[in-house]
Amino acid sequence: MNRRSLSFWLGAGLVSVVVAVALLATFWTPYDPLKLDFKTRLAAPGWQHWMGTDELGRDVLSRLMRGTATSIRISLSTVFLATFFGVLIGALSGYLRGWPDRILMAINDALLAFPGLLMALGLLAVFGASASGIIIALALAYASSVVRVVRGTVLGLRERDFVRASRVMGNSETYTLLRHVLPNCIAPVIVMATSMCGWIILAESSLSFLGLGVAPPAPTWGNMLAGSRSYVSQAAWLAIFPGLAISLALLGINLLGDALRDRLDPRMRRRV
Amino acid sequence: MTTSPALLQIQNLSLSAGPDKLVVRDASLQLAAGEIVGIVGESGSGKTMLSRAVMRLTPHAISRSGGDILLDGQSLYAMNERQLRAVRGPRVAMVFQEPMTSLTPTLSIGEQLLEGLRMHLPQARDEHMPRIHAMLERVGLRETQRILSAFPHEFSGGMRQRIMIASAMLLRPALLIADEPTTALDAVVQREVMEMMLELTRENGTAVLLISHDLPMVARYADRMVVMKQGDIVETGPTAQVLAAPAHDYTRQLLRTLPQRRAPRQIDRTAPLMSARDLVLEFGGRQRWFRKGAPARVLKGISLDIFPGEVVAVVGESGSGKTTLGMILSGLLQPTSGSLRYKGQPLRPGSPGFKDYRYNCQMVFQDPYSSLDPRMTVQALVAEALRMADGLSASDKRERVQQALADVGLGGDFATRYPHELSGGQRQRVAIARVLVRRPALMIADEAVSALDVTVRAQVLDLLAELQQRYGFSCLFISHDLGVVEQIADRVIVVQGGVIAEQGTRDAVFDQPQNPYTRQLLDAIPMLQATPDGGVHLRWRHAEDKASASANGAACPA
Amino acid sequence: AGAPDMLRVALHADIASVNPGVNRDANSDMVMAHVVEGLVAYGEDLTIKPMLASSWKANDDSTSYDFKLRPNVRFHNGKTLSAADVVWNFKRYLDPKTNFQCINRYNGKIGPALQEVKAVDAQTVRFSFSAPAPNFLMTLATIQCTPWIIHPDSVAANGSVSQVIGTGPYSFAEKQTGRYTELKRFADYSALPGTRDGYAGNKQASIATLRFVTVPDASTRSNGVLSRDLDVIDDVDPDTIKVLKDKGVQVEVQPTPSWVVLQVQTEAPALKDVRMRQAIAKALSLPDVAEAAGKGLFTANPSVISPLSPYYDQRSKAWPGYDPVGASALAKQAGYKGQPISLLVANRQERVQLATILQALLGSAGINIDIKVRDWASQLDLYGKGQYELAIFAYSARLDPLLMYESLIGDKKAEPTRQWDDAQASALLKQVAMERDPARRKDLFNQLHALMAKEVPIIGLYNLPVVTAMAPSIKGYKGWPAGTHRFWGVTRAAP
Amino acid sequence: MWKFAATRIGMAIPTLVIVALAVFILVRLIPGDPAALMLGDSADAASLAALREQLGLNASLPTQFLVWSGHVLQGDLGQSISNRQPVAALIWQRFAVSAQIVLPAVLLATLVAVPLGMLAAWRQGRLTDLALVATATLLLSLPAFWMGLLLLMFFALKLGWFPVVGFVAFGENPQQALLYLVLPITTLLLHEIGVILRMTRASTLEVLHLDYITHARAKGLSEMTVMLRHAFKSSFGPTWTLLGLILGNLLAGVAVIETVFTIPGLGRLLVDAIFARDYPLIQGCLLFIASIYVLVNLFVDLLYPIFDPRVAAS
Ligand SMILES: Nc1ncnc2c1ncn2[C@@H]1O[C@H](COP(=O)(O)OP(=O)(O)OP(=O)(O)O)[C@@H](O)[C@H]1O
Ligand SMILES: Nc1ncnc2c1ncn2[C@@H]1O[C@H](COP(=O)(O)OP(=O)(O)OP(=O)(O)O)[C@@H](O)[C@H]1O
Ligand SMILES: [Mg+2]
Ligand SMILES: [Mg+2]
């Protein structure tokens, strides 16, 4: 097996495990991930609790599983929002050019130069430390880079002959944009979206560390990892398992993203 | 034929791209010192791979599955990296097709020329610079000092190709591999570069392996020629002999497809379908924040008429504004000044005739790769052109699409394929079908066949002629391939630097050119003319050039 | 590591400023208490002791006080303290331009107005009030509201204070924002005789340099004391105490009156019914909450009166008993149908943990809690507007129950931060505010508590101790009920 | 070049205006009141009102904005609410600190990751490549606060090589400063190595299948020469642009690392300012950060022709 398919299968395998766990956790976990048990606080991994318990006696495995679902949900919704609006604005901006482009780009550059943290804080204050606040904040932060990529691609596509051909045929600009330009932005967008999935899991974790993460008691990989810091010398398992989960998921997503990029690269497909 | 011992011997070489995919099959070829051998053949027949193998520079995916290559009697496949590096450069050098991408964009010309000398002749340091200057002057470049500190992007394609040749010849190699060295250049420049290259190799006694799909060029310069098809060498022999009496079917087919002048047609030139007056186009320069850049005037007042059913060819040097003219006529660009009339009516968006014009005036783009949306099937691509067609029912439309696809020879399962599943010729046919399905009044074809290999090009040209016969549309045919123009045009327009240098009927322009530039263009490359016994012979368009051609020592069996 | 004559103390944030009483926060109060002193101060037993004043006398109706200053007290610039300096200070604090944070406690907006401050002689200052001011001493000693005595040279012409000159055992050396604030021992400090006693008593310093280092991250703080890069850290998480002790670090747990509560918005529709509030109180087993949150370090206390206070007795323990079954029954009677009640909490790990615990306990009595995490500034904003249902809140240590009751009881319309809007309570508060006799005060405070246990306008959870960890070489550190650090009297054993 | 720079700066002005306006509105939309924060739980309505008046928070928003932008145009960013120091001085001081971490970290990361990325591309599909890519991904997947904690626990606590807490400015004592800077720089470095390595690998792969690389090989040059002379510069172009974005973001965005290692940098200043609702400080920081972002990327673009002379032409 060559590397390309090796990394594809490795990536796909890791990602499917993560998705499977997330699905499973929505209706079954070994314990109730929110149930406190003061008698078994900070129990080491063992037969009862495979990954030990945390400072409030909750089962780490169950929390990790439920956290998978939340983290994946946050990650996917953010990516979806960022991509949707990023593509919309990027495509409009690149396709219309002129004044609309300049205005949109000035706003976009402002967003890019704007630390995501302030945005997160603002939204946290408005929406509370909730998944939706984080999703909106991160989506805003990441949409601006999608805008850049898409706009660049669209500017390139505009000069491609098939877009010109559509205009010569007498198709309207809207039709051309929707039918010919947007579908051809998919490859770079998918590649970006896969890397974004990983960044967002990490960003949520850093936000949790600064106290801006998803509100407890709902577990996410990020807030589990961030919360484990105080217990690192007495209860290393609190950090190891979420850390491992993040690393493996990211490895999977990145490998898959690389493989997808290779597959979607038009130059790879061009040869008959 | 030469009697000196073989410089290069390719012995039963097979190259494969995977377990059972042979790219080159059992190829044998000999090359003597100072000899020029041309390789021709269809696209994808393994010409490039064979020549790369001589440098042991095939892509990773390609491996040798049998045979050997000997240089001066030594097996290249027995050499280690060090020994190979001693061969690359001083013994065998290479000139690539695409001058744009063959020079490293980030290094100055001086650095790129110097590094080969430094690597292979470290002892003669003082000689390096004089040798480079001499070589640059030899390939016809002035101001050599300035050139050395410049970067590749500062040069035109022709200049770049000269630099490439200078770089290859600096070390006076025994063998020069030239893989389609002039495809990207216009006819005049093509000739200059080829002449210069061959003169230089002759001076140094360098053997040349010349790969090209341009038959007249190979015929003109090569001592011997090799014909390849699907990885096999199907024929090899002295050029004159192969051309005069081709032995293999494929070779015959190749020669048959050469463009030929057809009898002039009767065109009714009373009311022009489309006419342009005094077209001027300026590109506004880059719009800057504070002021505009100086405008570049690309078209400087062009007037032309296209009559119903007529094929008007536009030829001219690269950058003279041909594509720009096509885009204005198809409505993609607004002229800075000047007017367009369609069926006698001035054209303005929204004017009564505009819808008719938009529907009936269509363009085929130069690049078949880029003019089809890679995400649509052939069927969808063609059907899209009928989206605007009023008064056609869905089933009518379906029928028209089927008909158009059948017309261009893409019936059956082609309809459900995607562009990347088609060959270049098939793609170009889709682009044509997309225009024809509308039964347009005017088709603007920008270099519609120049990306295709000889056989496919012939198919497409025949198809066009047949369809034009059937549907009777007019055509503005932009091309730098004079052979093709000669075959299909009713009238020819020669543009130079944004103005019309000369225009007239095909026969007038080709036989009695008035303008010096037109003559230069026509005289750059000889043409091949079929002989009754199935072969061809080389013929110059204007007799007075024959003398100079033979003086250059070209093989000229006529 | 560390120079033997320097003590490095971790603070979780920079001190607000070196302008005492004006631009202040808890950290700057603590640091500045080493530099400046007031006329009087709280002792360890939470009674008021002499500091710069050696004695005082009030007239019968508490409208006039005479303070005798201690002789030969030196400022850091070598000048001697005089009555004129004290008068200058009070003039400055009473000037609205100074922005003294507690000006309202002196200008008549809260309590009686301080009408005149004048030097009777070089060592005596007289304070006159418009109305009886029985709690004047208490206000003077209250750490957040002390009019600290600084030398007039501290204040630049434009009113700013950058180089504060006080009389304390340490003088201000430098402040590097984001890094540290450094104090140097004052060689000419005139210490009181006797031993250390709260913010009063003998404050002779022994360590030459105090450096208050800003270390925002809790893990870094404990790692810092383990690596001996820090000598003293506080805010130690109860869970890490064992780890620290195992590595030889000394840990001091000092109970304080600082009070963690579950605020209940009595105006909220869901909580208007007293039975609902009682249900919530009954659903919480306070000892369990204290145990779960404090891992054995916290003392459950439903009352405003801290167990450390002289006013605390058996009666202060009155509270609806733990009874989850009774709680759900009561809630049902109050018309509660399981709709979620929001619980506002700041985004700090231990607060959120507490919220989780409360959510679990209330949940088992059928009361559905929705945790809302906000940053501290937002919570304070909502608190200021009274916009919450339940909220976790910590009141900083108020050394006298009166101050605590004063900030709880009042008209919610006028002051939304008030928790307890009740005529009977207001009447009792008025009464105790005018009372000087300790026994009578004790009685009144406990009457207020009994009323609170019935009305449940707020649910006290526990008193928060100050947990301090120190390098083994540090000797002589001792906490006190006010919960602030004192580094006079602290020494470092030679390594 | 100067004209280009002037044009770019001109184009950045609308961006900066949008940033300023957005920040101004956003920070005031966020609930919270600096006056209430300063007074804490002992605040009463009267002192709150007085403090708000004193801080100028009672004026109408447009007035506040006009006053503020007027001052900014005169180069005065105002005074911090929470510690009464001039905002400009604070920012500058803290920025100098952040730069001491970010610049060496990004520089070192580039020095390490670019050769490794090119190596991975050169060995594409081999074990070396897979190992390098996997390592880079793992480095990317450890959040900075964890990486920092692990380094602290091991190198500072266990081995005692470095101090755990504190910071010494480079100007004060270079040797000491180095000791304090090693771990934070390493934390950042490890993360950026992952990012840059992946980028370099990708852009080198793009270059390696171009004709001029084959042409260089056909001249008989060694693989080393081909990679360093012919592949490096063109493949470094995209990485160079990425470096600009990274630098622009990091100079303001290392709050997490600054918190873990107690470094008084710009990131922490901003976080603290946000938590304290220190409006002038937040506004000043963000305006500064946006300007830095613009300047860094301008600088990157100006130097880009060094790596790719084609760019200078257009
Ligand atoms: N890297 C590669 N991996 C696999 N197959 C390849 C690779 N490069 C070329 N081939 C295949 O090898 C065959 C010969 O290619 P080659 O480039 O030698 O053709 P050619 O005769 O030079 O054609 P053209 O005239 O179009 O340049 C083609 O079928 C091509 O698809
Ligand atoms: N968008 C543009 N902006 C500025 N100049 C342009 C633009 N497009 C084309 N040009 C210039 O206009 C001139 C004519 O270009 P055009 O493409 O029409 O030439 P052409 O005759 O089709 O050349 P070729 O034979 O190489 O295709 C060229 O010098 C080109 O550099
Ligand atoms: Mg080829
Ligand atoms: Mg053209």
How far apart (Å, rounded) are the C-alpha atoms in residues A19 and A69? Answer: 8
Q: Residue C1 pLDDT more than 60?
A: no
A228 — pLDDT class (breaks 50, 70, 90): confident
Q: What is the pLDDT of residue B558?
A: 31
Question: What's the mean pLDDT in B192-211?
Answer: 88
Contacts D218 to B, Cβ<8 Å: 55, 57, 88-89, 92-94
Among left, alpha and beta (phi > 0; psi -120 to 50; other), residue B34 is: left
Cβ contact B–C (≥3 pairs, < 8 Å): no
Q: Do B330 and A168 touch (CB under 8 A)?
A: yes
Q: Do D275 and C144 touch (CB under 8 A)?
A: no
Per DSSP, the residues of B328-394 read HHTTSS--SEEEEEETTEEP-TTSTTHHHHHHHEEEE-S-TTTSS-TTS-HHHHHHHTTTT-TT--H
- Determine which residue's CA is closest to atom 26 belonging to ligand 2: B318
Q: Do C360 and A35 touch (CB under 8 A)?
A: yes
Q: What is the pLDDT of residue B548?
A: 46
CA-to-CA dists, residue D40 to A212, C393, D85, D259, angstroms: 21, 12, 21, 24
Q: Residue B534 pLDDT more than 90?
A: no
Closest CA to A224 of C43, A240, C138, A233: A240
| Residue A254, C-beta contacts closer than 8 angstroms, at least 6 positions apart | A11, A194, A195, A198, D137, D140, D198
Q: What is the pLDDT of residue C461?
A: 95
Q: Are D89 and D80 in contact (CB under 8 A)?
A: no
- Determine which residue's CA is closest to atom 30 belonging to ligand 1: B44
Task: Compute the nearest-CA separation of D38 from chain C (Å).
Answer: 7
Question: Is the CB of B558 inside a 6 Å radius of any atom of ligand 2?
Answer: no
Q: What is the pLDDT of residue D311?
A: 65
Q: Are A64 and A214 in contact (CB under 8 A)?
A: no
Q: Residue B3 pLDDT more than 60?
A: no
Neighbours of A (≥3 Cβ pairs closer than 8 A)?
Answer: B, C, D
Residue with tokens 């408005």: A126
Q: Which residue has the higher pLDDT, B526 or D64?
A: D64
Task: Compute the nearest-CA separation of D166 from chain C (Å).
Answer: 7
Q: Do C374 and A227 touch (CB under 8 A)?
A: no
3-state DSSP assignment of residue B474 = strand
Q: Which domains does chain D have, with CATH numbers?
A: 15-87 (no CATH), 93-312 (1.10.3720.10)
Q: Residue B285 pLDDT more than 80?
A: no
Q: Residue B287 pLDDT more than 60?
A: no
**Helical (H) or strand (E) element with A11:** helix A3-27
How far apart (Å, rounded) are the C-alpha atoms in residues D144 and B30? Answer: 64
3-state DSSP assignment of residue C116 = strand
Q: Are A117 and D274 in contact (CB under 8 A)?
A: yes
Does residue B358 sit at the A interface (CB-CB below 8 Å)? yes
The single-letter code of the amino acid at A199 is W
Per DSSP, the residues of chain D read -HHHHHHHHHHHHHHHHHHHHHHHHHHHHSS--HHHHHHGGG--HHHHHHHHHHHT-SS-HHHHHHHHHHHHHTT---B-TTT--BHHHHHHHHHHHHHHHHHHHHHHHHHHHHHHHHHHHHTTTSHHHHHHHHHHHHHHHS-HHHHHHHHIIIIIIIS--S-SS----TTT-HHHHHHHHHHHHHHHHHHHHHHHHHHHHHHHHHHHTSHHHHHHHHTT--HHHIIIIIIHHHHHHHHHHHHHHHHHHHHHH-HHHHHHTT---HHHHHHHHHHTT-HHHHHHHHHHHHHHHHHHHHHHHHHHHHH-HHHHH-
Tokens in use for B96? 């690539």
Contacts A230 to C, Cβ<8 Å: 218-219, 237, 239-240, 349
Task: Compute the nearest-CA separation of B511 from chain A (Å).
Answer: 36
The single-letter code of the amino acid at C314 is Q
Of ligand 1's atoms, which has the minimum distance to the CA of residue B228?
21
Of C243, C348, C353, the CB nearest to A211: C348
3-state DSSP assignment of residue A187 = helix
Q: Residue C287 pLDDT more than 50?
A: yes
| Residue D127, C-beta contacts closer than 8 angstroms, at least 6 positions apart | none
The model's pLDDT over D7-43, given as tens digits with 9 standing for 90+, comes to 777 878 888 888 888 888 888 888 888 888 877 776 7
A237 — pLDDT class (breaks 50, 70, 90): confident
| Cα dihedral value D52, D57, D59, D64, nearest 10 | 160
Of C103, C219, C380, the CB nearest to D32: C380
Q: Are B252 and B234 in contact (CB under 8 A)?
A: no
Question: Based on C-alpha coordinates, what's the Rg of chain D?
Answer: 24
Question: What's the mean pLDDT in A130-150?
Answer: 83
Question: Cβ atoms within 10 A of the Cβ of B117, count?
Answer: 22
Task: Compute the nearest-CA separation of A170 from chain D (Å).
Answer: 32
Rounded to the nearest whole angstrom, what is the distance from the C-alpha of residue D47 to the centroid of ligand 4?
Answer: 77
Q: Residue D313 pLDDT more than 50?
A: no
Q: What lines the ligand 1 site, CB under 6 Å?
A: B 17, 23, 41, 43-49, 59, 61-62, 213
How far apart (Å, rounded) are the C-alpha atoms in residues A83 and A145? Answer: 9
Rounded to the nearest whole angstrom, what is the distance from the C-alpha of residue B324 to the centroid of ligand 4?
Answer: 7
Closest CA to C200 of C46, C428, C310: C46
The model's pLDDT over D171-218, given as tens digits with 9 standing for 90+, comes to 788 888 888 889 999 999 998 898 889 888 888 887 887 888 888 988
Q: Are A200 and A253 in contact (CB under 8 A)?
A: no
Q: In percent, how much of chain A has pLDDT > 70?
A: 89
Residue with tokens 């972002």: D293
Task: Compute the nearest-CA separation of D206 from chain A (Å).
Answer: 11
The model's pLDDT over C57-100, given as tens digits with 9 standing for 90+, comes to 999 888 999 999 999 999 999 999 999 999 999 999 999 888 88
Per DSSP, the residues of B59-107 read -TT-EEEEEEEEETTEEGGG--HHHHHHHBTTTEEEE-S-HHHHS-TTS
| Cα dihedral value A117, A120, A124, A129, nearest 10 | -90
How far apart (Å, rounded) are the C-alpha atoms in residues D261 and B100? Answer: 51
Q: Residue A235 pLDDT more than 90?
A: no
Tokens in use for C347? 């985004």
A1 — pLDDT class (breaks 50, 70, 90): very low
Does residue A126 sit at the D interface (CB-CB below 8 Å)? yes
Of C1, C378, C414, the CB nearest to D32: C378
Q: Which residue has the higher pLDDT, C48 or D198?
A: C48
Rounded to the nearest whole angstrom, what is the distance from the C-alpha of residue B183 to the centroid of ligand 4?
Answer: 14
Q: Do B106 and D215 touch (CB under 8 A)?
A: no
Of ligand 1's atoms, which has the minimum distance to the CA of residue B180?
27
Q: Which residue has the higher pLDDT, D311 or B547?
A: D311
Q: How far does chain D reach from its first CA to its final CA, in angstroms?
A: 12
Nearest residue in D to A115, CA atom: D253
How far apart (Å, rounded) are the C-alpha atoms in residues C168 and C186? Answer: 7
The phi, psi pair for B372, rounded to 5°, reads -115, 135
Of ligand 1's atoms, which has the minimum distance to the CA of residue B41?
21
B121 — pLDDT class (breaks 50, 70, 90): confident
Sign of the CA dihedral B494, B500, B501, B505? positive
How far apart (Å, rounded) are the C-alpha atoms in residues D239 and D260? Answer: 28
Q: Do A169 and B370 touch (CB under 8 A)?
A: no
The model's pLDDT over A62-71, given as tens digits with 9 standing for 90+, comes to 999 999 988 8
- Bond before A217 cis per omega within 30 degrees: yes
Q: Are D39 and D276 in contact (CB under 8 A)?
A: no
Nearest residue in D to B168, CA atom: D219
Q: Which residue has the higher pLDDT, A116 or B43?
A: B43
The model's pLDDT over A74-84, given as tens digits with 9 standing for 90+, comes to 898 999 999 99
| Residue B263, C-beta contacts closer than 8 angstroms, at least 6 positions apart | none
Rounded to the nearest whole angstrom, what is the distance from the C-alpha of residue B324 to the centroid of ligand 2?
Answer: 6
Rounded to the nearest whole angstrom, what is the distance from the C-alpha of residue D118 to the centroid of ligand 4?
Answer: 37
What pairing do the DSSP bridges indicate for beta strands C259-264 and C458-463?
antiparallel
Of ligand 1's atoms, which has the minimum distance to the CA of residue B211?
22
Name the DSSP letter for residue B5: P
Q: Do A115 and D270 touch (CB under 8 A)?
A: yes
Top-confidence range, B363-377, B525-539, C469-483: C469-483
Question: What's the mean pLDDT in B18-36?
Answer: 87
- pTM for the whole thing? 0.82
Question: Cβ atoms within 10 A of the Cβ of C275, count?
Answer: 18
Nearest residue in B to A182, CA atom: B375
Per DSSP, the residues of A138-180 read HHHHHHHHHHHHHHHHHHHHHTSHHHHHHHHTT--HHHHIIII
Of A169, A184, A272, the CB nearest to B375: A184
How far apart (Å, rounded) are the C-alpha atoms in residues B466 and B436? Answer: 12
Task: Compute the nearest-CA separation of B453 from chain D (Å).
Answer: 21
Task: Compute the nearest-CA separation of C109 from chain D (Å).
Answer: 8
Rounded to the nearest whole angstrom, what is the distance from the C-alpha of residue B48 to the centroid of ligand 3?
Answer: 4
The model's pLDDT over C376-434, given as tens digits with 9 standing for 90+, comes to 888 888 898 899 999 999 998 888 899 899 889 989 888 888 999 999 999 999 999 88
Q: Do C356 and A36 touch (CB under 8 A)?
A: yes
Q: Residue B321 pLDDT more than 60?
A: yes
Q: What angle do CA B323, B329, B334 make, to 5 degrees?
A: 90
Rounded to the nearest whole angstrom, what is the distance from the C-alpha of residue A98 to the centroid of ligand 3?
Answer: 42
Contacts D264 to C, Cβ<8 Å: 176-179, 214
The model's pLDDT over B68-113, given as tens digits with 9 standing for 90+, comes to 999 988 899 999 988 999 999 889 999 887 766 788 888 889 999 9
Q: What is the pLDDT of residue A117?
A: 63
Q: Do B370 and A162 touch (CB under 8 A)?
A: yes
Of ligand 2's atoms, which has the minimum distance to the CA of residue B316?
21
Question: Is the CB of B321 inside a 6 Å radius of any atom of ligand 2?
Answer: yes
Rounded to the nearest whole angstrom, what is the distance from the C-alpha of residue B178 to the centroid of ligand 3?
Answer: 11
Tokens in use for B319? 């950058």
| Residue C171, C-beta contacts closer than 8 angstroms, at least 6 positions apart | C35, C76, C165, C183, C184, C185, C186
Q: What is the pLDDT of residue B549?
A: 44
Q: Do D84 and C393 touch (CB under 8 A)?
A: no
Q: What is the pLDDT of residue A45?
A: 87
3-state DSSP assignment of residue B435 = helix
Q: Do D44 and C104 touch (CB under 8 A)?
A: yes
**Helical (H) or strand (E) element with B503:** strand B499-505
How far apart (Å, rounded) are the C-alpha atoms in residues A77 and A97? Answer: 29
Of ligand 2's atoms, which has the minimum distance to the CA of residue B327?
18
How far apart (Å, rounded) are the C-alpha atoms in residues B297 and B281? Answer: 6
Neighbours of C (≥3 Cβ pairs closer than 8 A)?
Answer: A, D
Of C101, C103, C220, the CB nearest to D260: C220
Q: Residue B182 pLDDT more than 50?
A: yes
Task: Write down the mean pLDDT value for chain B.
Answer: 84
Rounded to the nearest whole angstrom, what is the distance from the C-alpha of residue B538 to the centroid of ligand 4?
Answer: 29
Q: What is the pLDDT of residue B530?
A: 75
Task: Write down the mean pLDDT value for chain D.
Answer: 84
Q: Residue B553 pLDDT more than 50?
A: no
The model's pLDDT over C107-122, given as tens digits with 9 standing for 90+, comes to 888 888 999 999 999 9
Q: Residue B546 pLDDT more than 60?
A: no
Question: What's the mean pLDDT in B332-360?
Answer: 85
The model's pLDDT over D232-244, given as tens digits with 9 standing for 90+, comes to 988 888 788 888 8
Closest CA to A184 of B421, B370, B384: B370
Q: Residue A3 pLDDT more than 60?
A: no
Size of interface A-B (CB pairs under 8 A): 57
Q: Are C177 and C14 in contact (CB under 8 A)?
A: yes
Q: Which residues sit opposite C113 in a β-bridge?
A: C107
